Structure 1
């Protein structure tokens, strides 16, 4: 550029300020005119410095397309400076044009410009967004070659670029590099690092990073604590995780939320530490932390396992009063707790209250708890009515399945039922067979056909009642088992001499042979 022209531009530049540029841009936008055209008309871009200031103004106003357009117009005139390329890189990154960022970065070297720290950080940001940790590591090597010292922002982007589930080891290497370069991590760095380490099988790595973060004066937020706890729960020893959580509880600077308590309670549930579940629930209450409904269910389950039916009832009442979104599992769990404690009146009270207030939550397993209670209170007739009412209202599937053709047995599934409930189910099934046989006999006038009701054209099939595996001690069912409840009803209805078969293979069962069933039906039809 001739000396005279350069001097004229310097004089013009002295007469133009950043305020003039911003004022012209705002005026053009208010008049809906082309901003760049206005700047050129007023001769406001007459030096390298003003050119960069114009690019910066566009960027600050989020006019990223104008940044790129202005750069293109003056390319080769005022663009041979790193600051101008940095603004161009910023615009490409803001417009999510990753390939353009890489192309512009390479073009700097092509025109003989050395990218500075800001330029490198913009490219690192793109790698972080793309989770391209390999690209990040290559770029850090370039910075080392160019003798450019990465700052905390560089490492923040680098840590964010690591896919958390696979490359947690890269995170450890980056943290070590920061220590060697004496670059102090910020909270965002620790957040990214802890997220990655939450998938590491070496939970003590996360513990070391957490302690380092605390010693640096940072207070972890909810996400960092969640990642840290997830890492601790990777320990093969559940007590390690619980010990860490208890230490966190004693730290008054931390804010533990329902998410953190949920995680601790879930790990206790998985390891069967029911007393710890109740202790954590108590701590939540003391801190004023409201649990999720799923967590409440785990606490209720702990009450069942520990036989604390009164605690379960009180907790359920508290949850109802606080407006917790309760599901059927919560009520079923409390019914089980009361049933195990043989608090039959409480079982019926809770079931009837639920039946009146929220019938939509009722399920067949809840009805079976009430059925057992009625049987224990000597109200077998009411128990049968409740069982049939439950089936009619669609609270559960009919427990028995039958084949209309062939010799396959009729299967009745009584697993998981109490002896009383299993007996009621078997009684109802046999009564149904009798009712069907009566109907066929009446309509056909043939008792023989009645005894074969539902089984034509074959002989009556066997009835196989599946029972709990724990029902047997050796070859005989033990007292108070599902099998015993089934046998008692069969002998009561079909006679003490009925020939039934108990088996443990292929599954625990009680079988009524088809011939015995036919004799029973023939007798009842007469």
Structure 2
């Protein structure tokens, strides 16, 4: 472009930065950003957003640089969107940079970002990082910050407490919800079901499921997936299949994640032949299995000394690849 004297616009630089960032080449992306500024081109909001997101990624993470760029973005007058803030705060909390995360939200809110959204995202990020106590402590400041502890915040905290195995503390939060007149969400019920299955308390998990149905809290795909996973891990395969078939008949229909989870659990339990049926069912349902799906079932069948069936998996994979190539 330079040799041909073409005009290089800020969007051109943004595209180059994005390409490097997607490949995990964050050092090159940063150098490209610096070169862009050195040549007199001003980054726009999209340039800052994409670069910060890539710097926060697992591959090539550079949080100190992300923090500097976040500050530059704000001082340049660009307001980040909810997606970018969520990724940025999550990366900070995962890395133990809680003070930096709090300062970032404070700066955002001073510049007009909605307090409710900003501090809710911070609580969500703290809970993801396993810092339930810090999240609870922050809710105590909500009234002063002009925020409200809503259903979604309770869901994040309850899930974090359950992941820590702190059932009593989670139940106390549910009592707080009731006193505040907030209904128990499907997400919280799903978390409770998953927790009780993990603790091998099937009866309690079923009580939660039954209560959901009675109170008109319709289970989602994620709820049914938690039931399937719990049953398979307990060796209750017929119950897992009953739930799966119920989904196919009455909905919500199993999605790609449900199929993938189900076949992975079956293979771990030495039921790879059943997992092969799921691949066949995916194809019939017009859901394309991934390479990981095929590999999981293939290795599972080989471990179970079912090489003939494993070869069927390979033939199915090759047939699908050939079919997709011809359809392009």
TM-score normalised according to structure 1 size: 0.34
Q: Larger radius of gyration, structure 1 or 2?
A: 1
Q: Which is helix-richer, 1 or 2?
A: 2
TM-score normalised by the chain length of structure 2? 0.50
Which of structures 1 and 2 has the larger relative contact order (alpha carbons within 8 angstroms, sep 6+)? Answer: 2
